Amino acid sequence: ELGGPTVRWRPGRSDSKTAAHCTPDGRLPDAAQGAGHVRDIFYRMGFGDQEIAALIGAHALGRCHPTRSGFDGPWNASPTAFTNFFYTELLDDKWVPKKWDGPFQYVDKQSGAFMMLPADMALKTDPVFRRHVERYAADQDAFFADFARAFAKLLELGVSFPADAPVYEFKTLE
């Protein structure tokens, strides 16, 4: 199990059989952009700065692949564990531009093994986002609670639920 918070989930979203009902490209932020662009994308979906900072914390998981996004590398040493490590690494490590032929990104100065996207760095440099980053770096439980609410909201965007729709919480292994 990768850990992390329990996220409330309601069934009801249905897949579209045609592209006419699909979300247009541009729903996710361009990783090469800064705070203004990230806000533009998430604000139009009804998210605030705290929710944006919480959702981007999912970068604690996985890695970027050059064949998919052009960017390369994991965000931290534990890419299969959902923790607040993204925030602690973002604040505690020294980040420098990566020297390579790919798109602009940052690597940690100490090892060069971990990366941050320009959009990630916006969370560190923007004073409003940084306030949330600092709180999440110091308090994993606060991050988990805020992430669970914001992610449930993201899952339910554009879905109309009946008043009596059941809500599920899947048990963790803990």
Instruction: Reduce the secondary structure of 56-75 to three states and give it as a string.
Output: HHHHHCCEECCCCCCCCEEC
User: What percentage of the chain exceeds 90 in pLDDT?
Assistant: 71
Q: What is the pLDDT of residue 173?
A: 67
pLDDT band with cut points at 50, 70 and 90 for residue 1: low
Query: Whole-angstrom Cα distance, residue 99 to residue 3?
Result: 34
pLDDT at residue 146 is higher than 90: yes
Q: What is the pLDDT of residue 65?
A: 96
Q: What is the pLDDT of residues 65-78, one digit of tens each?
A: 999 999 999 999 99
Output the pTM of the full model: 0.90
